[in-house]
Structure 1
Amino acid sequence: MIPVQGFAGHQVAVLGLGRSGLSAARALREGGATAVCWDDNPKAREAAEAEGFETRELTRDGAFDEIACLIVSPGIPHLYPTPNPVIAKAWAAGVPVDNDIGLFFRSLATREWDEFDTAPRVIAVTGSNGKSTTSALIHHILSTTDRHSQLAGNIGRGVLDIDPPGDGDVVVLELSSYQTDLARALTPDVAVFTNLSPDHLDRHAGLGGYFAAKRRLFAEGGPDRAVIGVDENEGLYIANQLSEGPGDDRVIRVSSGQKLTGPGWHVYARKGFLTEWRKGKQVGSIDLREIKGLPGAHNHQNACAAYAATRALGVAPRQIEAAMTSFAGLPHRSQIIAEKNGVTFVNDSKATNVDSALKALQAFKNIRWICGGLQKEGGLDALAPGFDHVRKAYVIGREADGFAVQLTGVEAEACGTMEVAVARAAAEAEPGDVVLLAPAAASFDQYDSFEKRGEDFAARVQAALAQL
């Protein structure tokens, strides 16, 4: 655990008692503060009380008397579409509002670091798509090359639950826009921006607000090195804002599909090959085509970002290549779960928006596509460039009929449930086909999470294969 610094002897309010909220309360107590907790869910309050925490209704008058700070869980809106009433109370009382990420960065360094030969480093990864895979791949590369690493944040453990890092250790954080938007301290050593596509627009009042939340990791933090995906204008903008000139190698530009050259530091992937280009010459290359854990151009972009981040810490290209070869990928992200009779079954349940689903469609051919769910804003037209890889779509979700009619130019069958969709796709698949779950939608109309949806897909695949 990382004991929270700076609040010893003070009361700190904690709003939201899920994983990050309870973790923050424990870390505050470990650092000598008194955590005053609240959650609208009575069971969550009971769990906090069972650990000895005081619970207090934070919207009542005087609730913020003697409160030094309010810590907010990431799922709670603080500004858009409307401020949470507790946060509004904190504002009115002049109480600073922060989250567990802010507490982490203000509390990580200790006097013990003065005795270390090499100070611990933090790599923070944000972006719309690929940040989980990129974070996990960075962690895998470091662990494989005998550099002690911990993975936390939006993936793995809560940021305050990790062990205090030792001499030369690395902490790899995946950070969502919900986490970067509110944190009062953001000071990674290496910051990574994968890409940007529309998502969480209601929470951030549009694409501009969503991008602004991501950009805070770079604008507020001032990382020593920034790894920036430049395949969208937003990435180009961040890279330009951070760089002092074409040869400034504090900024490592990353691309999937573009050849990047020039006097700076670049890492790009084209036609399945990763290339590192620095100071006007090629200094590294990896053939990504046979790495099963990283299929498709979107994963090649993730590989470039992870390569750049670990190179920034001094890991050698050949070490990175060997580590990538042993990377198995993450569950629910282009995960091959079965192969039978020449048909491959791929679980990409994490493809919850149109952009990530398109990348999945472009990564495979001859696709029997299982899609659908709780549709997000913006429609499905942006999926069209991937339709030539689709043999047929099998649509799930409560609004399967409405989703199916939007797939213009694709044969689509409204199946409703995962059971029916998998059974139909498996029965109709031919050798060389890929049965791909890439929903292009949220899961919450039928499942508690994308993980549950992916697990159901895997179970239905096994059941269908048993009948073949």
Structure 2
Amino acid sequence: MKKLSNIFLGKKILVYGLGKSGISTYKFLKKSSDVYLFDDNHRINFKYNQKIISLKKIKKINFDRIIISPGIDISNCKLSKFLNNNLLKIHTDLDVLFSFYDNKSITITGTNGKSTTAKILHDALTDQKRDSRLIGNIGNPVLAEKNITKKTIFVIEASSYQLDYSRIFRSKYAVILNITSDHIERHKSLNNYVDAKFKLLKSQNRGSFAYIKKDDELITKKIKKNKYKAKIYKVQTSNLNKKFDKIYNKYFISDGNKENLLFIFEIASKLKLNKKKLIRSINRFKGLDYRQQIIFDKKNLTIINDSKSTSFASSESVLKNLNGAYWILGGIPKKGDKFKLSKTKCKNLKAFIFGSHSKKFLEILKNKLKVKSFKNMEETLKVIFSEITIQKSEKNIIFFSPAGASFDSFRNFEDRGNYFNQLVKKYINAK
């Protein structure tokens, strides 16, 4: 644990946002610093209520540091004016982690594939008796881990929100899997979004390693414009099918997941992981809920739940590897999002659009493939199951990959994915 020049020890600190991240930050710092709490929801039920202070009191205290949760948008929150007047004091839990620990860290970001890549790498390290901790957007909150030793390796999934507000965080290994247009509503522009991702590389020093996708347009453009101190590895993601002869796990059918594996192989080599054991870990990987998850695979029907998909790019990485499918999509389309698969690739695809934003999806897809629209998800599945007879000789694939945000009808992508699973159970049991 670091002690010298720790910028949080003994300081007056405001923790803003009392979700899992904020609560774990408070618990981590409360013994070494004077910590106060604030949340936009003043009715939040929290056992440390006496530490929650009012907006009036916040303005009277001269805080040394302000640690904000990733979900806080400083341009649209109750403390917006206060935060904009104190920008240099803003930090994240990643900054706290870096201040207290100098352990080896592998930080993974990108538009798609972060969680899967982080989980497989963590599993591989654990299987080979390394003390790996999976933290960040996946696993435990960044500061919730106990019994950290010098040998502990942090595998971190970092969002653009976390990286954007981090000021001093630095990672020995940095990974940018891919970048496509996303979260523009929050970042205001594509350039800002790309900049947030690249803070991960910008903060690295000599002796660090960065892994980026070689043939990613936005990444290539950014790399050419700037100089970085880390040794950069450009991961070649073409000729994918030639590189996976020993991988038989069905989860890795999509190009996107195959690309994730290429990054894992590169990093595993640097970490001196045994390749045979690594492949064994990959083949045992069961996937993550709502991320290209095979929820039914019997007789002549396969059903894939990819509720996490909130953009066309995410859905396309699987669609181009499917020889025909009933593709279910809907939700809130991303601003400026485009469907890039050719008509040839869409030849055997049928799109079933549900929800209040169907018209927007129809406009984008109508000249590419066969499209039908429905009021809701239940109505959509009812029609699809009426078209499919499970005993039919040809293989049927139902691919639920919404390509849009979930907030039109659901709390989050997990809520949406769970609802889809419940509907599938209903129709499967009725067969």
Q: TM-score, normalised by structure 2?
A: 0.90
Gaps of 5+ in 1: 110-119, 258-269, 275-285
- Give the CA deviation at 1:466: 1.1
SS in structure 2 at match of 1:151 = strand
Cα–Cα, structure 1 residues 385 and 219, in superposed 2: closer, same or farther, change >3 Å?
farther
Matched, 1:415 2:374: yes
Q: For 1:417-456, what aligned pairs fall within 5 Å after superposition?
A: 417-429=376-388, 431-456=394-419
Q: What is the Cα deviation at residue 204 of structure 1? A: 1.4
In the alignment, what sits opposite 2:202? 219
User: What CA distance in whole angstroms lies between the structure 2 residues aligned with 1:16 and 1:317?
Assistant: 42
SS of the residue corresponding to residue 132 of structure 1 reads helix
Q: Which amino acid aligns with 2:350?
A: K
| Partner residue, 2:67 | 71
Give 1:85 shift. Answer: 5.3
Tell me which residue corresponds to 2:294.
336
State the match for 2:193 in structure 1: 210
Question: Which residue, out of 94, 100, 108, partners 1:107?
Answer: 100
Q: Counterparts of 2:116 and 2:331 in 1: how far apart (Å)?
A: 23
Alpha carbons of 1:386 and 1:13: their partners in 2 closer, same or farther (altered >3 Å)? farther
Measure how far apart 1:216 and its partner are.
Answer: 0.3
For 2:344 and 2:414, locate their aligned partners in 1 and report how far apart those are by CA, in whole Å.
24
Please tell me whether the aligned partners of residues 447 and 453 of structure 1 are also in contact (alpha carbons under 8 angstroms).
Answer: yes
The 3-state SS of whatever aligns with 2:143 is helix
Q: Is the 8 A contact 1:380 1:407 kept in 2?
A: no
Query: 2: CA distance between counterparts of 1:346 and 1:62?
Result: 48
**1:102 partner amino acid:** D
Match of 2:422 in 1: 459
- C-alpha change, 1:411 and 1:233, in structure 2 (3 Å) is closer
- Give the conservation status (yes or no) of the 8 Å contact 1:195–1:230: no
Change (3 A) 1:403 1:91: closer
Aligned-pair CA distance for 1:341: 2.9
Question: Once the two structures are superposed, what CA deviation does each residue of 1:39-87 show, in whole Å capped at 9, x if it has no partner?
Answer: 121232x41xx225422233x3762523111111111123xxx364524
1:160 to 134, 143, 148: 143
The change in CA–CA distance for 1:385 and 1:214 in structure 2 (over 3 A counts) is farther
Shift of 1:445: 0.5
Alpha-carbon shift at residue 210 of structure 1 (Å): 0.4
> What residue is the counterpart of 2:364 in the other structure?
406
Report the counterpart of residue 348 of structure 1 in structure 2: 306
The correspondence of residues 232-381 of structure 1 with structure 2, limited to 5 A, is 232-237=216-221, 241=226, 250-257=231-238, 270-274=239-243, 286-287=244-245, 290-381=248-339
User: Aligned partner of 1:21: which letter?
Assistant: G
Alignment of 1:21 with 2:22, yes or no, is yes
Count of residues paired in the alignment:
423
Q: Taking structure 1 as reference, are residues 148 and 73 closer, same or farther at Cα in structure 2, changes over 3 Å only?
A: same
Residue 214 of structure 1, CA deviation? 0.3
- After TM superposition, the structure 1 stretch with the greater mean CA deviation from structure 2, 221-230 or 134-143, is 221-230
| Change in 2 beyond 3 A, CA 1:394/1:288 | farther
Maintained 8 Å contact 1:127/1:194:
yes
1:142 aligns with 2:129: no
Structure 2 unpaired stretches of 5+: none
Preserved CA contact (<8 Å) 2:296 2:303: yes
- The separation in 2 between residues aligned to 1:199 and 1:385, in whole angstroms, is 24
SS in 2 for 1:382: coil
CA distance, structure 2, for counterparts of residue 184 and residue 132 of structure 1? 23
Q: Determine which structure has greater relative contact order: mean sequence separation of CA pairs < 8 Å that are 6+ residues apart, divided by chain length.
A: 2
Shift in alpha-carbon separation, 1:149–1:61, aligned structure 2, 3 A: closer
CA distance in 2, matches of 1:196, 1:353: 12
Match for residue 48 of structure 2? 51
Q: For the structure 1 residues 401 and 314, does the alpha-carbon distance in structure 2 shift closer, same or farther, using more than 3 Å as the test?
A: same
- Cα RMSD (Å) of the superposition? 2.6
SS of 1:36 mapped into structure 2: strand
Deviation at 1:353, TM superposition (A): 0.9
**2:197 corresponds to which letter in structure 1?**
K
